[in-house]
Amino acid sequence: MTDATAPAPAAPAAGGKRRSLLEVDERTRRRNAAEARFRLYGIVAISVGLLFLLLLLGSILFNGLSAFQQTFVQVPVYLDPERLDPEGNRDPEEMRGVTTFGYKPLLNEAVYEKVQSLGIETPLPEPAMAPLLSDGAATTVRSFVLENPDRLGETVEFDLLASSRVDGYFKGRVTRDSIARDRFIDAAHLDLADAMNEAGTMGKQFNLSFITGTDASDNRPEQAGMGVSMIGSFFMMLVVLILALPIGVAASIYLEEFAPQNRITDFIEVNISNLAAVPSIVFGILGLAVFIQFMHLPQSAPLVGGLVLTLMTLPTIIISTRASLKAVPPSIRDAALGVGASKMQSVFHHVLPLAMPGILTGTIIGLAQALGETAPLLLIGMVGFIASNYPDGVAAGFLDPNSAMPAQIYEWAKRADPAFYERAWGGIIVLLAFLMTMNIIAIILRRRFERRW
């Protein structure tokens, strides 16, 4: 056997190094296998990433979409002048004397009458209609009356918010089992709600006030909305944009184009890179110490939030701006200097326009990051509870206590009533919509301004 095989390995060696291309040798086979394995790892990694992304998006949409719909009750309400304007002067000032408590019996009557007129049988007496309606329903009617005092005595059709229990029942969150020990509502209410839903006088509708409305107290989750915190976020982003863009761009132009190459510049560069990696909560406590305790700026104000987020965003903007300045070929600078342009002219006429798409993209990414930042806002108290009033005017927008979208989401997620849980998810959808819009703008800007040289 050894005799037979011994010459065999010698043969190819003797035949020189010429092997057939049609045979794959061992070494090549191993290399190809390694390559195929690596490609497989890549595909697996990407699939895992995609799976998690889908899970994330799926759960956000599954949990959050219901927040955009709310159960309303359509009832005609007789605006009884006797009770709503006892003095009879139709003077809005006097009519303010009647609080929402004065309105509630009116609404109970209206719902009860509606139920009777629809021929629905219910064991519940008239005052027991209250748990069907949100606490906010009386507010809706009251503000309508105060705005239109001349419509007293008429019967007006209202879309009133149903209570969160009823709303939860239609969304599947509240069941007959879960209300067994609920002191606010009992099974008879749910029977009635079902009947009213069938009769078409109660049902889910798109709820714009979730996006535009104000936050609401623990007792009325059905009324809570993102509007005010959105305004807070808007003013913060304004501060960040106004401060971080010029400061960041100026700093990076100086560092990249003008600064002498020495120890101090190196030190600054290293520290900017380090700042980009500092946890955001550190910026929060810095803001608390510097802006609020030392400079006595108002607490919970978007101005302070904006300042803190500016500090946080600056390194991001500086790093991306410097990268895009570096990407401009030096031949362009030479060309400008060669025709007698000054350093500044060459930068502002030629380098900066070419770096603009990169700078804008970096800025928008930085803004998006700041928009979603929560931790520093908690430390400077930007979790204001604004239940009724929007900031009036620009100054108030900057200085009045407010909240921000991510802080609002955190706030809702913290509350006990499960109805707020749904709103937290809904808030995340709104926040993600903003972030996606900003990223799309960044992509569009990059495409639009991208030039070849």
Partner 1 sequence: MYDAPTAAEQALQQHDIKISSRNVQVYYGDTHAIKDVDVDIEDKTVTAFIGPSGCGKSTFLRCLNRMNDTIDVARVEGEILLDGENIYDKKVDPVQLRARVGMVFQKPNPFPKSIYDNVAYGPRIHGMAKNRADLDEIVERALRRAALWDEVKDRMSAPGTGLSGGQQQRLCIARAVATEPEVLLMDEPASALDPIATSQIEELIDELRRNYAVVIVTHSMQQAARVSQKTAFFHLGNLVEYDDTSKIFTNPEDPRTESYITGRIG
Q: Provide the binding-site residues for partner 1, judged by CB under 8 A.
A: 260-261, 329, 331-342, 345, 349-350, 354, 451-453
- Beta strand residue intervals within 31-172, DSSP E: 69-78, 155-161
Minimum gap (Å) between residue 327 Cβ and partner 1: 13
Minimum gap (Å) between residue 445 Cβ and partner 1: 17
Distance CA 209, CA 224 (A): 8
- Residue 333's CB is within 10 A of a number of other CB atoms, namely 17
Question: Nearer Cβ to partner 1, position 191 or 257?
Answer: 257
Residue that the structure tokens 């009750």 belong to: 73
Minimum gap (Å) between residue 259 Cβ and partner 1: 10
Minimum gap (Å) between residue 353 Cβ and partner 1: 8
CA 207, 406, 317 angle in degrees (round to 5)? 125
Question: Nearer Cβ to partner 1, position 333 or 446?
Answer: 333
Chain centroid, CA 197 distance in Å: 33
Question: Residue 74: beta bridge partners?
Answer: 159
Distance CA 333, CA 350 (A): 7
Minimum gap (Å) between residue 364 Cβ and partner 1: 23
Question: Nearer Cβ to partner 1, position 335 or 433?
Answer: 335
- Residue 8's CB is within 10 A of a number of other CB atoms, namely 8
User: Which tokens belong to 215?
Assistant: 């936050």
Question: Nearer Cβ to partner 1, position 86 or 338?
Answer: 338
Distance CA 427, CA 211 (A): 8
Question: Nearer Cβ to partner 1, position 20 or 261?
Answer: 261
DSSP letters of 229-261? HHHHHHHHHHHHHHHHHHHHHHHHHIIIIIS-S
CB 234 within 8 A of CB 430: no
Distance CA 202, CA 71 (A): 7
Minimum gap (Å) between residue 346 Cβ and partner 1: 10
Question: Nearer Cβ to partner 1, position 25 or 334?
Answer: 334
Distance CA 37, CA 52 (A): 23
Minimum gap (Å) between residue 347 Cβ and partner 1: 12
Question: Nearer Cβ to partner 1, position 6 or 339?
Answer: 339
For residue 161, give the 3-state DSSP assignment.
Answer: strand
Question: Nearer Cβ to partner 1, position 29 or 326?
Answer: 326
Distance CA 294, CA 304 (A): 12
